[in-house]
Amino acid sequence: MSTQTDQVGDALAESTSAASLARTMERSAQIEAQIEVDPSRFRILTGDRPTGNLHLGHYFGTLKSRVELQRKGVETWILIADYQVITDRDGVGPLRERVFSILADYLAAGLHPEETTIFTHSAVPALNQLMLPFLALVTDSELRRNPTVKAEYEATGGRPMSGLLLTYPVHQAADILFCKANIVPVGKDQLPHLEQARVVARRFDERYGRVDPGTPVFPAPEALLSEAPLLLGTDGQKMSKSRGNTIELGMDADTTAKLLKKAVTDADRRITYDPENRPEVSNLVMLAALSTGRSPQDIADEIGDAGAGALKKLVIEAVNEHLAPIRARRAELVADHGYLARVLARGNERANAVADATLDEVRTAMQMKYV
């Protein structure tokens, strides 16, 4: 097993290499094209950890494209990954509040509960139970070498690694495989997870065989790489809640204006779009471009010598205008807790039905269906 394991460890690390990334991007573009032709061939699963309110980075990075996939008719499953919150922290924080807040963000952004199934880990026992057979298909050494686990571990400042942190890629494989998703929209950083899910799917097939001879119990999921530009925070650093540099979807227009007015720029009055050399200014230009649907070049040309003040004014107007209908809808949703609770209950119910059916197949393949 050790040779096989070494190869898998390499495959996970390989999944972020330049050559592998190029292949994944090419394949991702093919999938993109196939979705246009026949969206019914695909089932998408993706999700978020409920660790804080969603912000513009999430919105332009992933939320908008999820809404777009839903519009194209791809069956979409969205996981609020509550169990994953405890991988690298002791407490759960104000979890209940955050789950409902993220749900409100999803719906306000345009995810429709009849078309998109939104659910939480903790409400789907059969999903979590897949963790048992799946754990038997991986080794500790390949988990230790998983680039995502390593990155998470380093972020904890070297505190001892919990068993869950070590094995959470296997849990994430269960997230993807329980509903037999064949597409996972991800950023580059999540590619090792996807590779882990593919490994689990393949090994399950090798070890336990099939229920239906023609198809493996678990199809190998593929990545849909997001092309969304990376937005920075208002300080020009990586956008993160703990830095206080984010614009949340649920913030009001005045708070948004205040935060954007304080955004870091540089000493050059003339506004240009030059992400490499002028990351802060270019980030504001990009934000205006994304919010208006115009090109960054066009925005930069319009502002030109009018300077950072004029740029900020444009960004504030553009962001607030773009978010206004979303925020109005969000406020309505938050005021109707009963509705949000019903949406989640319905999503959980659907996820359970699918997870139960999958677990049943797993038991059959594993000869564990006795009665």
Question: Binding residues for ligand TRP, per CB under 6 A?
Answer: 45-49, 79, 81, 84, 172, 175-176, 184
CB of 291 to ligand TRP, least distance (A): 23
Of 130 and 289, nearer to ligand TRP (C-beta) is 130
Determine the Cα–Cα distance for residues 120 and 111; give it in Å rounded to an integer.
Answer: 16
Type of residue at 300:
A
CB of 12 to ligand TRP, least distance (A): 15
CB of 184 to ligand TRP, least distance (A): 5
Of 35 and 176, nearer to ligand TRP (C-beta) is 176
Residues 314-326, buried b or exposed e (16+ Cβ, 10 A)?
A: bbbbbbbebbeeb
CB of 79 to ligand TRP, least distance (A): 5
Task: Give the strand pairing for 75-80 and 222-225.
Answer: unpaired
Of 81 and 340, nearer to ligand TRP (C-beta) is 81
Please give the structure tokens belonging to residue 348.
């959980």
Of 53 and 256, nearer to ligand TRP (C-beta) is 53
CB of 125 to ligand TRP, least distance (A): 17
CB of 121 to ligand TRP, least distance (A): 8
Could you report how far apart the first and last alpha carbons of the chain are, in Å? 34
Taken in order 319, 323, 324, 325, the sign of the CA dihedral is positive
Determine the Cα–Cα distance for residues 245 and 265; give it in Å rounded to an integer.
Answer: 14
Of 83 and 273, nearer to ligand TRP (C-beta) is 83
CB of 76 to ligand TRP, least distance (A): 12
Tell me the three state secondary structure of residue 92.
coil
Please give the structure tokens belonging to residue 68.
């777009």
- Residue facing ligand TRP at closest CB distance: 81
Distances (CA, A) of 344 to 214, 285, 340, 358: 35, 37, 6, 21
Of 79 and 257, nearer to ligand TRP (C-beta) is 79
Of 186 and 286, nearer to ligand TRP (C-beta) is 186
H-helix segments, the chain: 2-14, 18-37, 56-58, 64-72, 95-109, 125-129, 131-135, 140-144, 147-155, 163-177, 191-208, 253-261, 279-292, 296-303, 307-335, 337-365
- CB within 8 Å of 258: residues ≥ 6 apart: none
Please give the structure tokens belonging to residue 266.
């540089």
CB of 282 to ligand TRP, least distance (A): 25
CA angle 175, 176, 182 (to 5 degrees): 165
Of 223 and 289, nearer to ligand TRP (C-beta) is 223
Of 9 and 57, nearer to ligand TRP (C-beta) is 57
